[in-house]
């Protein structure tokens, strides 16, 4: 059972990564975040990660359904902003593991393709 989004000692299997384009109030707890996932994505599927940002794009929350329950994680940048998707691209987008890695590091994930290849200038 290999998972490119997780290292060899990963606790949580993630098969799909979804990014919401509308901001989420970062005070939201697990139930509010789960309600937003259901509203935006239609369902919270097992082994999927759902990413949200705040209006300033300096914080993100990730809700993960591991098949048994949900995990809610948060990350904050002390300087700069996360590169986020524009609303005109739709309510949500699918990301690759490479794009997720770039996103959480504050890098322009939209330019990353499979195997880290740059696909957009």
The C-alpha angle 13, 16, 115, rounded to 5 degrees, equals 95
Measured in Å, how far apart are the chain's first and last C-alpha atoms?
35
Q: Give the domain range for residue 83.
A: 16-108
Q: Would residue 7 count as lying in a domain?
A: no
* Domain count across the chain: 1
Pairing of strands 16-20, 48-53: parallel
User: Which residues of the chain are modeled with pLDDT < 70?
Assistant: 1-10, 86-90, 113-121
> What's residue 58's pLDDT?
92
> What's residue 4's pLDDT?
52
Q: 75, 27, 80, 81: which is closest to 51 by C-alpha?
A: 75
Looking up tokens 């490479």 gives 98
> What's residue 2's pLDDT?
47
Alpha-carbon distance 50 to 55, whole Å?
Answer: 17
pTM of the predicted model as reported, rounded to 2 decimal places? 0.77
Q: Would residue 80 count as lying in a domain?
A: yes
């Amino acid at each position: 059972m290999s998972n490119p989004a997780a290292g060899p000692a990963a606790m949580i299997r993630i098969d799909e990564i979804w990014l919401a384009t509308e901001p989420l109030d970062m005070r939201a707890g697990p139930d509010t975040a789960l309600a937003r996932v259901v509203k935006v994505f239609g369902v919270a599927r097992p082994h999927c990660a759902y990413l949200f940002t705040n209006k300033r794009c300096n914080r993100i929350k990730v809700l993960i359904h591991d098949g048994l329950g949900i995990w809610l994680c948060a990350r904050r940048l002390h300087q700069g902003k996360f590169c986020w998707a524009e609303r005109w691209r739709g309510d949500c987008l699918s990301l690759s593991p490479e794009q997720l890695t770039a996103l959480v590091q504050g890098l322009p994930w939209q330019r990353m393709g499979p195997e880290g290849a740059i696909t957009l200038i």
